[in-house]
């Protein structure tokens, strides 16, 4: 489905395009303020930034709820000659307008201010590992989220509403069913993995941060990131934002004591950025001018991070570079050593540092806690204890402090309580299906990666995923590209092939890939 503009001047459609561009500009302005907030905002400026974000949110709501805009959408809906792509744009616009019309202006303003307050308080609370410092704000954030969901009673539960907002068409029942398949399979694989000391970790530092950043920038360019349409910075929590149609920025975090966090957060966020940079030019400034959904976005990040970046061909290709950059530490290792190290099965406390086997268990814990909070079955004051108990059950670990436990992720404290984490796991499932389809279409993909040539894979993803933006619902897109509805089979099969060699010598303690 491609967007085709009318062959003759069309005043009504042109007016809609102008309005959509203005709405997009305000959304990009909001992201620019968030980028600045996350990378360099002075600590004392939090309230000021909250007020600015609230003002932008109100301006955007005013545009979305404008009566003239509503009539224009209604008039366009009556046209019979619009293409399927144009009809999809109208459907997305009506969906966004309906949401704006239902939410009181005061609630929108209060939510934006509270989200900014929550972010600033979380930064301070995590630095001191003090959950009680941020708990009152989280309680207000929860109340605000419940108040928001109450304006959409047809969704079912609050979690249903928030899931649909970020992954259109998905429901709590669908997500829970997929997780019900994943959780026992992952726990069984984890139980089967050998225990004991895994041996030295070649990726343990120290590693010069400046050298890490140079390597990261090289990887971004090699994968296809256009530096003329984006930038990179450092932040406490890695993320990607689109602050303009041709201005895609990523923030990563480098650890002087370990190479993996900076390397893999760069690959992950570059995957997000490639998606946004690849959206079709004719869609920019329209309701479909963004990635299809949060889960599809995560599929692109996880595909480049895990299916490419944790593969043996990738490490064979980049062994000379990492050895040149970090000669004292890595001069004596080979590609197989590094491949084993980055695929080590090692249950840990930190989601963003988790291996492929345990990562989705981190997500399922968060998803189940979100559901309990929104259902009223769990009080905010009891969240740390519930978090610790869930980690003991799923990963056999108990966080020694809140910074490595309930405070490690920013999402809930910045206003994303509900629908914040399920997309990461859905993205892993989507990535596995998409990579299988790419392998079928690109028979020399393994050789391409060994030659550090990403053009074919990048091009395949651009044609089949990136360029479509939001023209398809996420489930429709995945089925269209892969030929199958979303499921867990491809992910579980691929992961089992990695994990199964763990059960016997000669390679204990590591994930292995089969040819």
Environment class of residue 331 by beta-carbon count within 10 Å: exposed (0-12), middle (13-18) or buried (19+)? Answer: exposed
The residues with which 344 forms a beta bridge, in sequence order, are 510
- Encoded tokens for 233: 């910075």
- DSSP SS3 for 356: helix
Which residue is associated with the tokens 């190290």? 341
Judge whether 90 and 99 are in contact, CB under 8 Å: no
Q: Which residues contact 6 (CB under 8 A, 6 or more apart)?
A: 13
Q: State residue 73 phi and psi, 5-degree precision.
A: -65, -40
> Any binding-site annotation on 298?
yes
3-state secondary structure 419-484: CCCHHHHHHHHHHHHHHHHHHHHCCCHHHHHHCCCCHHHHHHHHHHCHHHCCCCCHHHHHHHHHCC
Q: Enumerate long-range contacts of 395-399, CB under 8 Å, 24 or more apart.
A: 395/190, 395/347, 395/348, 395/349, 395/358, 395/361, 395/362, 396/347, 397/347, 397/348, 397/349, 399/349
Largest CA distance in the chain: 71
Environment class of residue 120 by beta-carbon count within 10 Å: exposed (0-12), middle (13-18) or buried (19+)? Answer: buried
Residues 442, 444, 450, 455: is their CA dihedral positive or negative? negative
> Any binding-site annotation on 272?
yes
CA distance 82 to 70: 18
Q: Among 168, 269, 356, 370, which one carries the catalytic annotation?
A: 269
Q: State residue 34 phi and psi, 5-degree precision.
A: -70, -40
- 269 among known catalytic residues: yes
Q: Quick one: how far is CA 423 from the chain centroid?
A: 7
Judge whether 63 and 30 are in contact, CB under 8 Å: no
Which residue is associated with the tokens 């050895």? 323
- Encoded tokens for 298: 């995560």
Q: Which residues contact 467 (CB under 8 A, 6 or more apart)?
A: 278, 279, 280
Sheet strand arrangement including 247-252: 230-234, 247-252, 239-244
Judge whether 291 and 279 are in contact, CB under 8 Å: yes
CA distances from 479 to 172, 224, 395, 475, 476 (A): 20, 26, 32, 6, 5
Annotated binding site: 268, 272, 298
Catalytic residue set: 269
Annotated binding site for Zn(2+): 268, 272, 298
């Amino acid at each position: 489905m491609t967007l085709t503009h009318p062959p003759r001047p069309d005043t009504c459609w042109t007016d809609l395009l102008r309005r959509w561009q203005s709405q997009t500009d305000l959304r990009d302005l909001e992201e620019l303020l968030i980028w600045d907030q996350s990378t360099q905002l002075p600590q004392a400026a939090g309230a000021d930034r909250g007020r600015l974000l609230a003002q932008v949110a109100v301006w955007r709501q005013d545009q979305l709820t404008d009566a003239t805009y509503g009539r224009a959408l209604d008039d366009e809906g009556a046209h019979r000659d619009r293409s399927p792509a144009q009809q999809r744009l109208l459907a997305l616009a009506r969906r966004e307008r309906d949401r704006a019309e239902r939410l009181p202006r005061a609630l929108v303003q209060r939510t934006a201010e509270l989200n900014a307050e929550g972010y600033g308080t979380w930064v301070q609370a995590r630095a001191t590992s003090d959950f009680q410092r941020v708990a009152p704000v989280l309680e207000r954030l929860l109340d605000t989220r419940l108040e928001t969901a109450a304006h959409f009673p047809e969704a079912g539960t609050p979690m249903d509403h928030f899931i649909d907002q970020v992954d259109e068409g998905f429901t709590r029942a669908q997500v829970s069913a997929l997780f019900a398949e994943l959780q026992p399979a992952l726990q069984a694989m984890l139980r089967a993995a050998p225990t004991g000391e895994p041996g030295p970790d070649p990726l343990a530092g120290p590693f010069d941060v400046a050298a890490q950043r140079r390597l990261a920038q090289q990887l971004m360019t090699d994968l296809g990131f256009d530096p003329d349409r984006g930038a990179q910075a450092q932040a406490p929590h890695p993320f990607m934002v689109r602050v303009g149609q041709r201005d895609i920025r990523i923030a990563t975090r480098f650890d002087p004591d370990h190479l993996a966090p900076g390397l893999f957060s760069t690959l992950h966020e570059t995957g997000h950025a490639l998606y946004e940079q690849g959206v079709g030019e004719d869609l920019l400034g329209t309701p479909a001018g963004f990635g299809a959904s949060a889960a599809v976005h995560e599929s692109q990040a996880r595909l480049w991070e895990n299916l490419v970046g944790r593969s043996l061909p990738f490490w064979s290709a980049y062994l000379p570079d990492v050895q040149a950059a970090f000669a004292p530490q890595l001069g004596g290792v080979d590609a197989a050593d590094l491949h084993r190290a980055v695929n080590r099965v090692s249950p840990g406390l930190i989601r963003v540092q988790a291996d492929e086997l345990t990562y989705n268990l981190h997500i399922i814990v968060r998803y189940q806690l979100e559901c309990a909070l929104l259902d009223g079955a769990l009080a905010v004051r009891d969240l740390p204890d519930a978090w610790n108990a869930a980690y003991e059950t799923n990963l056999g670990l108990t966080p020694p402090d809140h910074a490595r436990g309930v405070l490690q992720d920013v999402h809930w404290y910045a206003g994303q309580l509900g629908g914040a984490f399920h997309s990461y796991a859905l993205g892993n499932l989507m990535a596995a299906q998409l990579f299988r389809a790419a392998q079928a279409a690109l028979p020399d993909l393994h050789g391409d990666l060994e030659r550090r040539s990403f053009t074919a894979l990048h091009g395949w993803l651009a044609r089949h995923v990136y360029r479509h933006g939001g023209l398809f619902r996420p489930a429709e897109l995945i089925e269209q590209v892969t030929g199958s509805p979303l499921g867990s089979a491809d992910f579980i099969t691929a992961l089992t092939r990695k994990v199964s060699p763990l059960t016997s010598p000669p390679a204990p303690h590591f994930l292995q890939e089969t040819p």
